[in-house]
Structure 1
Amino acid sequence: MEYVVEMLDIRKEFPGVIANDNITLRLKKGEIHALLGENGAGKSTLMSILFGLYQADSGKIRVNGKDVSISNPNVANELGIGMVHQHFKLVHNFTVTENIILGMEPKAGLSIDIKSAAKRVKEISEQYGLNVEPNAKIEDVSVGMQQRVEILKMLYRNADILIFDEPTAVLTPQEIDDLIKIMKNLIKEGKSIILITHKLKEIKAVADRCTVIRRGKYIGTVDVESTSKAQMAEMMVGREVLFTVDKPEKKAGEAILKVDNLSVKSSREGVMAVKNFSFEIKEGEILGLAGVEGNGQSELVEAITGLKPITSGKITLNGKEISSLSIRERINSGIAHIPEDRQKRGLVLDYTVGQNMVIEIYDRKPFSDRGLLNHKAISEYAEKIVEDFDVRAGQGVDSITRSLSGGNQQKAIVGREIELKPDVLIAVQPTRGLDVGSIEYIHRRLIEQRNNGKAILLVSLELDEILSLSDRIAIINNGELIGIVNAKDTNENEVGLMMTGIKRGDTD
């Protein structure tokens, strides 16, 4: 019995889109099998069918050699299939243990036996090297820890076939290394894993075989060890992908955005998230902001864009102080913002793509005149962005934004913000959750903005992205500026050390 799961000729259609066009995937017992594809290629759809969230239109599924019909996630659980979703499904004010036993609470008489559950959680956590504290509240633990809780939830339900959907999208580099160790432990203990991802580096690090799908079609299954990253990228995108960014030497001009001694309060009582932070960005340069997640980057960006009030210091744009202007006034003064959380801050998910493309400027001509919207002008403007940025949507600009894949939502936001032709573009995690083809495209557009004399603040957790795009790099740790270095005079190692709070030259 070689295969624990066989998905044979799976087909699934949605209005306007064939999400899965007769795809076959076979998972061997004890392997990590990567499912690779661009955004919107149909990876999540295929796995949602295996987990019982969707039903296939045709094709069949076998688990351990038997034909099965998986009509809902409970059936999947009974068959030993578990899934860690990209957006975690946890109750924030519950403890780790309460989240894990939700829906299958062990009873002692009439009351829930939390104690024995916590003990079992601790045992599983130790067995797989998860290091989870059973009584911690979800709202108090890191994103990486929340993910481990999701993994524990599957193991508590005795799952043997584990599906990970883009598990590293929200993790720091250190947490990614930990997750890779955890996956290898799971395999040692007899589990089999399907890993949905578009990060080739991680596939090379952890997967045995890789199945590639492109625009809903099956392209092939390869042995990871004997296949290069370039070959997998080409299977995924359908053309050769350049992994380097072409960035001409360029002398930066005048300072456009200046931040002086900025301090910003954190949402936690009495804590400063940003402390006396100063920097400037000149026209025609990209300033990268590097740091481990949660060190004040978000608050700094919120202060500059007007989402959060500042405690002290000042922000100047083109020589004019903007610290007390409203968000709209800042946009009108020339600031554009690709936000960190595309669904919370970037888009109104129940609006159409077209409406979302003019959300900051619908009150300007030609989009409205004396309070009346000009739908034709809005559609034309939005269609240009959708076409330029290859935003794939079933019904084009009339699609409801919620129906787009995460990567296509991201491309829509990037396109919208660049199309504002701002003086300062603040790009926070601009390629988070995108595949190599889209990353290459967005990097090109950011460099193009720099070459056209724009000032760009790039905030990213991907260190190689910061190093390859930035002209200068500012390092933030615990809300403080550790230093600013020239990108061409530094390396991953040095920036990594500075991210932990060690200043340049402090090596004792």
Structure 2
Amino acid sequence: MDYVIEMLGIRKEFPGIVANNNVTLQVKKGEIHALLGENGAGKSTLMNVLFGLYQPEKGEIKVKGKSVQISNPNIANDLGIGMVHQHFMLVNTFTVTENIILGGEPSRFGKINMKEAENNVREISEKYGLSVDPSAKISDISVGMQQRAEILKTLYRGAEILIFDEPTAVLTPQEIKELSAIMKSLVNEGKSIILITHKLKEIMEICDRVTVIRKGEGIGTVNVSDTNPNELASLMVGREVLFRTEKTPAAPKEDVLAVKDLTVKDSRQVTVVDSLNLAIKAGEIVGLAGVDGNGQTELIEAITGLRKSDSGSILLNGKEISQLKPRKISEAGIGHIPQDRHKHGLVLDFPIGENMVLQTYYQKPFSKKGIMNFKGIYEHAEKLIKEFDVRTPSSETQARALSGGNQQKAIIGREVDRDPDLLIAAQPTRGLDVGAIEFIHKRIIEQRDKGKAVLLLSFELDEIINLSDTIAVIYEGKIVAVVDPKETNEQELGLLMAGSKRREEGEIT
């Protein structure tokens, strides 16, 4: 069998942890090969070894049958290997073309020929159906377009083997469909793709083969046509995984949150939350369903104090909180699992132990008269790390060194441990594997069953339907429908989210 990539018996160690232990990966020409595993299983580490960002302690790498030493990404590029990272490597103030040519600028007589570069980028974009404006500034284009710019960057450098690291984690459902079409177009042109993912549905739809890694060790490689999601999930986590959310019927009580006639403007002073009304009761999960960009992010920012509202009121347990600062809102009884864990959830350069008390570090027993009690902080962190299964070498490990899933579990542990009256969970399972999703769903339901109110924001409609007791649909800054998840489906929700259907009170589908 001829392989374009062979990684044979790879071992990669970090202080206190073996990230890859004797892992083998073999990729055929012209296939989409999935690399499947839990968060923290070692998938990204293995691909960072292939791309030259890490050097393995043991093992051999072959490209098109020849043994190679890939000591840095430039060598990987020369070998025809490109990587689209989960967190994009783009300069926001540069244009698409400037980002793509960065480090390999075409010049004539010492001057960069930008027109020639733009033409080359446009040609590649049109060839692969990427539809990216070469002159657009990165800060002005959507996340999906930024990802296309990253793909263009690898193609511009002549990549024949493309590594996609969790490419759909930050995309809308429509952008995911478009990316799948782009991937198929690339392999039809003779490229080979390695897709790092934990989304079983995507694997079944677009991949040819899948290699499973569990806790740093290779479990095996199977043809997608010979397997199914249940089998893949069991291989990935080492046990049977339930694909349904088990919960008893809700028993809602009094209003915990009451949003009345709320209006919020964005940074451009455009109204994005428009006279919105929403109520969440103790003992219920309200799912907020909507296409990204319809005001849900600004709504949550207004509730948590991260953005000032222009008019209307936000009542928590009957008390007005709209003019309070974020710390006072947090103390009043709101827990917040933010949509962007890196920007609003963690201080990445702090140890994970100190991140566990970001909301409470100034309170007893973590602080006394302004003096931090680090012994108490780390004892508390160790308890949460164990309770919420945060996989880290130690509580003193920097937060940025943890996988995305373990970062998320740390945030959820911190917020749930505070026992808030209202838990706001924004994209709580974004980028997580099925095992972690199952764990987090159970924790959210536990909060509901303890009589807490939960506001769930998710772009995954199956998550909204399975987890929510009530679904509020937001469109252009307004709640256009409030529906019972048992009386709706993804198709109807999709129409409501697009503004093409209105649901009358009492109507049942």
SS of residue paired to 1:245 = coil
Contact 1:6 1:62 in 2 (8 A): yes
Task: Provide the C-alpha distance between the structure 1 equivalents of 2:386 and 2:260, rounded to a whole number of angstroms.
Answer: 39
The 5 A counterparts of 1:23-422 are 23-268=23-268, 270-395=269-394, 397-422=395-420
Structure 2 residues without counterparts, runs of 5 or longer: 505-509
Contact 1:289 1:473 in 2 (8 A): yes
Which residue identity lines up with residue 181 of structure 1 in the other structure? A
Task: Provide the C-alpha distance between the structure 1 equivalents of 2:150 and 2:399, rounded to a whole number of angstroms.
Answer: 27
> For each residue in 1:164-211, what CA deviation from the matched residue of structure 2 results, as whole angstroms up to 9, or x when unmatched?
000000000010000000000000000000000000000001100000
Task: Provide the C-alpha distance between the structure 1 equivalents of 2:137 and 2:39, rounded to a whole number of angstroms.
Answer: 33
Task: Provide the C-alpha distance between the structure 1 equivalents of 2:247 and 2:103, rounded to a whole number of angstroms.
Answer: 53
Matching residue within 440, 448, 457 for 2:455: 457
> For each residue in 1:97-137, what CA deviation from the matched residue of structure 2 results, as whole angstroms up to 9, or x when unmatched?
11111111112333211112211211111111111111211
Structure 1 residues without counterparts, runs of 5 or longer: none
Which residue identity lines up with residue 316 of structure 2 in the other structure? L
SS of residue paired to 2:226 = coil
Which residue identity lines up with residue 28 of structure 1 in the other structure? K
| Worse overlay, 438-447 or 104-113 | 104-113
TM-score (norm 2): 0.97
Task: Provide the C-alpha distance between the structure 2 equivalents of 1:278 and 1:401, rounded to a whole number of angstroms.
Answer: 37
User: What is the Cα deviation at residue 505 of structure 1?
Assistant: 4.5
Task: Provide the C-alpha distance between the structure 2 equivalents of 1:76 and 1:213, rounded to a whole number of angstroms.
Answer: 23
SS of residue paired to 2:4 = strand
Q: What residue in structure 1 maps to residue 437 of structure 2?
A: 439
SS of residue paired to 2:225 = coil
Contact 1:7 1:60 in 2 (8 A): yes
Q: What residue in structure 2 maps to residue 430 of structure 1?
A: 428
Matched, 1:500 2:498: yes
Task: Provide the C-alpha distance between the structure 1 equivalents of 2:132 and 2:366, rounded to a whole number of angstroms.
Answer: 52
> For each residue in 1:358-415, what CA deviation from the matched residue of structure 2 results, as whole angstroms up to 9, or x when unmatched?
11112222222332333333222212211111000112x2222121111111100011
User: What is the Cα deviation at residue 436 of structure 1?
Assistant: 0.6
TM-score (norm 1): 0.97
| Worse overlay, 132-141 or 303-312 | 132-141
User: What is the Cα deviation at residue 477 of structure 1?
Assistant: 2.0
Contact 1:482 1:502 in 2 (8 A): no
Task: Provide the C-alpha distance between the structure 2 equivalents of 1:275 and 1:98, rounded to a whole number of angstroms.
Answer: 38
User: What is the Cα deviation at residue 246 of structure 1?
Assistant: 0.5
Which residue identity lines up with residue 135 of structure 1 in the other structure? S
SS of residue paired to 2:286 = strand
Task: Provide the C-alpha distance between the structure 2 equivalents of 1:193 and 1:401, rounded to a whole number of angstroms.
Answer: 30
Contact 2:208 2:224 in 1 (8 A): yes
Which residue identity lines up with residue 40 of structure 2 in the other structure? G
> For each residue in 1:142-179, what CA deviation from the matched residue of structure 2 results, as whole angstroms up to 9, or x when unmatched?
11111111111111111100000000000000100000
Name the CA shift for 1:62/1:284 in 2 (closer, same or farther; >3 Å). Answer: same
SS of residue paired to 1:294 = coil
Which residue identity lines up with residue 310 of structure 1 in the other structure? S
Task: Provide the C-alpha distance between the structure 2 equivalents of 1:46 and 1:388, rounded to a whole number of angstroms.
Answer: 28
Contact 1:482 1:503 in 2 (8 A): no
Matching residue within 481, 484, 487 for 1:483: 481
User: What is the Cα deviation at residue 344 of structure 1?
Assistant: 1.1
Which residue identity lines up with residue 386 of structure 2 in the other structure? E
SS of residue paired to 2:405 = helix
Which residue identity lines up with residue 341 of structure 1 in the other structure? D
Number of residues of Structure 1 aligned to a counterpart in Structure 2: 505
Q: What residue in structure 1 maps to residue 507 of structure 2?
A: none
Task: Provide the C-alpha distance between the structure 2 equivalents of 1:346 and 1:320, rounded to a whole number of angstroms.
Answer: 26
> For each residue in 1:52-101, what CA deviation from the matched residue of structure 2 results, as whole angstroms up to 9, or x when unmatched?
00111110100011000001000000000000000011111222111111
Task: Provide the C-alpha distance between the structure 2 equivalents of 1:330 and 1:492, rounded to a whole number of angstroms.
Answer: 34
